[in-house]
Structure 1
Amino acid sequence: MIAALDIARLGRWLDGIGVPGDGAAPVVERLTGGSQNELYTVSRAGERAVLRMPPRGADAARVSGLHRELRLLGALKGTDVPHAELIAGDAAGEVLGMPFYLMREIDGWSPAATWPTPFDRDPQRRRELAFALVDGIARLARVDWRARGLDGFGRPEQFHDRQVDRWLAFLSPYRFRELPGLDAAADWLRRHWPAGYEPGIMHGDYQFANVMYHHGTPARLAAIIDWEMTTVGDPLLDLAWALLGWDGEQPRQDGFYIDVSGMPGRSELLAHYEQVSGRSTADIDYYLVLANWKLAVVLEKSYAALVRGEAVDPKVEMFGPLVLQLLATAADLARSLPGGS
């Protein structure tokens, strides 16, 4: 609730960090759209920013996630990665009772279930959306994370060695049904780690829903958003995550959750990623198996909660068949690759 925020203390904090309007009370309005944290617009002296903080009573994991976002956005400041620029943050939670950070407001739009005009009917314009999406994650992949002070931000050593066991352990407490393809894909992943692995910053959930575009055409990425899953790991997993709506070379009309028909073929997007990031995509099939498999495991937790009567969002019901589809895709792709069976 907005009433729970101490507007006077927030105003004094804004004074202390040099936000225009010294001494004036900020106007604070609640925003919708944050799935893990609360969002507010903060306006003063004609300047608008966005405040992000965990809800009251948030557990330690969610608070830790916000600390990670705060650190990551600080590290990205001054880079060419599209993001909401960090103004300042209160990691200790001394000002509002919970940690928070303040970032520049982005004037843009984020994809939902359908594309806005003209992207809904112009195939050429839709191609631009995909290239812009891949461009953003390619720019993130080339950031020198050590030079940006992100040592200790993740555990990049043996990243791929841990993936299967980590996510199977994540699944174990709530597994309640047979999941065909889970073990076959897991076995293949254990035996086919990528030959070359260069650690880099990962978003962790990179997809159309987690970016914003500038208004108008041509399509240009305004910001990558929702950094809850960020870490230092393998950026190529982000690329595979972004390509889940493609069936081999071709984009699917049903995509993953939005229509991607008319977008570039996968090979065109891989070439663009390589050109911008400087990274090879030769092992992309491994990452596609891992992306389908891992997302299935993550979504199964929400679906299991629905089956147990613990989830209230009716959209979660679609996760039931989607999990099976993702696992089938992972297993089928693994079987079609060298070493598959």
Structure 2
Amino acid sequence: MNNVTENGHHDDPHTSALMFLGTGCSSAVPNAMCLIQPSDPPCKVCFQSLSTPPERNPNYRCNTSLLIDYSHSAGEHKYILIDVGKTFREQVLRWFTFHKIPQVDSIILTHEHADAVLGLDDIRSVQPFSPINDIKPTPIFLNQHAMDSLKLKFPYLVQRKLKAGQEVRRVTQLDWKIIENDCKCPFVASGLEIVPLPVMHGEDYICLGFSFGKKNKVAYISDISRFIEETEQYLSKKGDQQLDLLILDTLYKNNSHNTHFCFPQTLEAIKRLQPKRAYLVGMTHEFDHYKDNEFLQDWSKREGIQVQLAHDGLRLPIQL
């Protein structure tokens, strides 16, 4: 892919970047059950987390989330966050500080499940302090189903005006913006045009992925069990433009799942879509980063598509 190297820094202020804040499943890695009720022998991936600092351990995985560092033509940087899961505060402490991320300018939600939204309360920690909430709300883009759910999960974040006699409390300030489940209905977040990519996340549920980038076309699909025909056509090499980078869900290595792609399905989808490069996210503790990337290195040579597991903290400079 053009202009992409791993873990680069701001050598060129006009270069954008993608930062993987989390690459794990809903329960994250290590799996707590592996630690409190260890198997015999114990789970190597999970027990490694007890002795290896997370910043040096690519098998330590928070809830899947991506931060887009979007550089405008003038060199101004805007930070667009995709999903705010249960581990958001930990991701801020670990990776915002490491990569010197000063704020979040926009938020995009794939769906309203816990691993995508339960960190919304902690967005206040990356907003200016105001005891009376007198700050500019952060735009948050989501579909109507997610909006309806979040009105119940977080009524105090959705409420526009205080009721009579209600005390002011400092809470996250959000500007809710409804987007469509339609590839033909793009929206703009902090200056970056983004295309919604509806996919099935179980046969009873539509989840959104997102595509963005003019100089390099990127697609991010974190929760998928099946492609909708229109979305696959939009992303396929047979469509308008070959993907430069595909970021794709893969939950289990050896099993199947009713609401997620697993390793065999993920690799089959990559062969169909034919991106120039792909990174995998959403992994459980079944995946060992080093061992499975060795397998993917051989697979990539055989198939002619560079594929590897992503890891928390990975930063990819890219021209958008």
Range of TM-score over shorter length? under 0.3
Greater RCO structure (CA 8 Å; 6+ sep): 2
Q: Which has the higher helix share?
A: 1
Higher strand residue share: 2
Give the alignment's TM-score, normalised by structure 1.
Answer: 0.22
Which has the higher Rg, Structure 1 or Structure 2? 1
